[in-house]
Amino acid sequence: MKLKLDKKDFKPFLQTLMDEYDLFAPVQLAEGVSVFRKIDHPYEVDLSASNTQKPAKEIFFPQSETMFRYEKVGNENRMTSMEEVKRERILLGARPCDIEAISIVEKVFAGEECTDVYFLEKRKKTTIIGLGCNHPLSTCFCSSAGGDPFLRAGSDLFFIDLGEAYFVELLTEKGMIFHKNKFFKETNPKDLTLVKELEEKTFEKVGFSIPVDGIEKRLNLMAESSFWDRIHEKCIGCRICTYLCPTCHCFDIVDEGEHQRGQRVRNWDSCLSPLYSLETSGHNPRPTNRERTRQRIMHKFNYFPKNFDQVACVGCGRCILYCPVHFDIRQAIIWTSSKRPKRFGGGTI
């Protein structure tokens, strides 16, 4: 179902959402820095950034999450699990790349025998309102990674900014519940033409130039290549790329508190940290940055596809924008393909 929402009605519309749901949307923390947060007032919502720093996966998989609290009562340990989600939620303003990434993470966390209840409870109770990308950045390569700036898949409702209004598409059953919202109006043919123009223009802008297709097979032959000796050189092993990556899902489990009372918490972790695979004996299967960089790239483009038939990269470009030493994953991908420059050195990997 195709509808329209005038921008002058946007804040009251948000209020109608907040009356019944917990609303999560981008919030600006400082100039140029935005993250997804729970909204307390409609004026907090800021959809102006091309993309947030921290990805939308945070809504389902928070950076730090209490799994359960425990308390020792006599000889007994009482545990209270924290997976319950009391109120239905809405995620508004996530870009198609982030939404696709959520379904990638869901593939890992779901499972017949063991399901990650914390992620799935939140996912079940969330309605996703996607937002199309009118202005993708030059670092975006979603189309090369199987997505596109207006991809509807994964969204329950989809908004496209038409200037004075948002074009609204209700896509799923969860989305159709909103068709009676008093702020939604009928569209007219001009709106639909504008949508089509925007889609074509941006699709062409993003292009298909990064050879993600077929990378799994190419990397099969490169497990012990000298490529890894060079590519890790400038990486300093901070964790920005993994923390800001919408598909990265590694976590650490720690106990906080003491013997009598406390909680078991899970925090984001990164395969680039030297402690990640360090065993108590002192042995570390990935002792240097070389092995860890290899693990990150192989996991995204070879191991994950082997298990789930999809690369674990949606082309959002955050790792390129925020890497302090300007490691460009696109160059690394190009370098695994026949497009690579003759000397390993001729690009800027």
Partner 1 sequence: MKNPYLPIPMVVRKASVETTDRMLRTLELSFLNEEDAKAFRFIPGQFCELSILGKGEAPFGIASSPTENGSLKFTINKAGVVTTALHHLEEGTEIGIRGPLGNGYPIDLFKGKNILVIGGGFAFTTLRSLIVYLSHPENRSRVKDITVIYGARMPGLLLYKEELTQWEKRSDLKLVVTVDWGDKDWKGKVGLVPNVLEEVAPSSENTYAVICGPPIMIKFTFPKLMALRFPNERIYTSLEKRMKCGIGKCGRCNIGHLYVCKDGPVFSYAQLEKLPKDY
Partner 2 sequence: MEERSKAIQDRIRDKTKELLSKKAVDLIIGFGEGSLPLRTTPIFIRSPEDVDRLIWNSFCENNLATYLHKFAQFKVGLVVKGCDARSTIALSLEKRFKPDQLFLIGVPCQRMVDRRKVKRAMKGEILRAYEQGDQIIVEGEDFKKALNRNDFLYPSCQVCPHRTPTQANILIGDPVDESPITETHPEIVEFEKKSPEERWRFFEKEASRCIRCYACREVCPMCYCNECFVDSSNPKWIDKGPSPSDLEFYHIVRAYHQTGRCSGCGACERACPMEIRLTYLTQKLNLDVRELYNFEIGIDADALPPLSTFEIDDKQEFIK
CA–CA gap between residue 119 and residue 61 (Å, rounded): 6
Distance (Å, whole) CA 174 – CA 156 = 6
Q: Does 108 bind partner 2 (CB under 8 A)?
A: no
| Residue 341 touches partner 2, criterion: CB under 8 A | no
* Site pattern 40..69 for partner 1 (x: CB under 8 A): ---------------------------xx-
Give me the DSSP letters along 3-40.
EEEEGGGHHHHHHHHHHHSEEEEEEEEETTEEEEEE-S
- Chain centroid, CA 326 distance in Å: 20
Q: State the DSSP code for 252.
A: E
Closest to partner 2 by CB, 17 vs 101, is: 101
In this chain, which of 46, 83, 161, 328 binds partner 1, going by CB under 8 A?
83
Smallest gap from Cβ 288 to partner 2, in A, equals: 9
Residues contacting 256, CB < 8 A, separation 6+: 262, 263, 264, 265
Among 19, 32, 48, 75, binds partner 1 (CB under 8 A): 75
CA distance 29 to 52: 10
Q: Which does 221 bind (CB under 5 to 8 A by kind): partner 2, partner 1, none?
A: none
Q: How far is the CB of 236 from partner 1 (least distance, A)?
A: 21
Distance CA 284, CA 278 (A): 5
Structure tokens that stand for 2 in this block: 């195709």
Give least dist CB 16 to partner 1, A.
Answer: 31
Instruction: Give me the 221-260 binding string for partner 2, x by CB under 8 A, dash otherwise.
Output: ---------x--xx-xxxxx--xx-------x-x-x----
Do residues 342 and 136 make contact, with C-beta atoms less than 8 angstroms apart?
Answer: no
Nearer to partner 2, 117 or 137 (CB): 137
Out of 19, 31, 113, 186, point to the residue binding partner 2 (CB under 8 A): 31
Nearer to partner 2, 99 or 210 (CB): 210
Site of tokens 């720690």: 254
Q: How many residues bind partner 1 (CB under 8 A)?
A: 57
Tell me how far CA of residue 13 lies from CA of 5, 43, 94, 168, 187, in angstroms. 9, 12, 17, 13, 17
Buried (b) or exposed (e) across 130-141, using 16+ Cβ within 10 A? bbbbbebbebbb
CB of residue 59 to partner 1, shortest distance in Å: 18
Residues 6+ apart with CB under 8 A from 348: 326, 328, 331
Residues near partner 2, by CB under 8 A: 29-33, 50, 53-54, 63-64, 135, 137-139, 230, 233-234, 236-240, 243-244, 252, 254, 256, 265, 267, 275, 289, 320-322, 324-328, 330-331, 343, 345-346, 348
Residues near partner 1, by CB under 8 A: 67-68, 70, 72, 75-77, 79, 81, 83, 108-109, 111, 113-118, 120-121, 223, 249-255, 257-260, 262, 264, 266, 269, 271, 276-281, 283, 285-286, 291, 294-295, 298-299, 302-304, 306-307
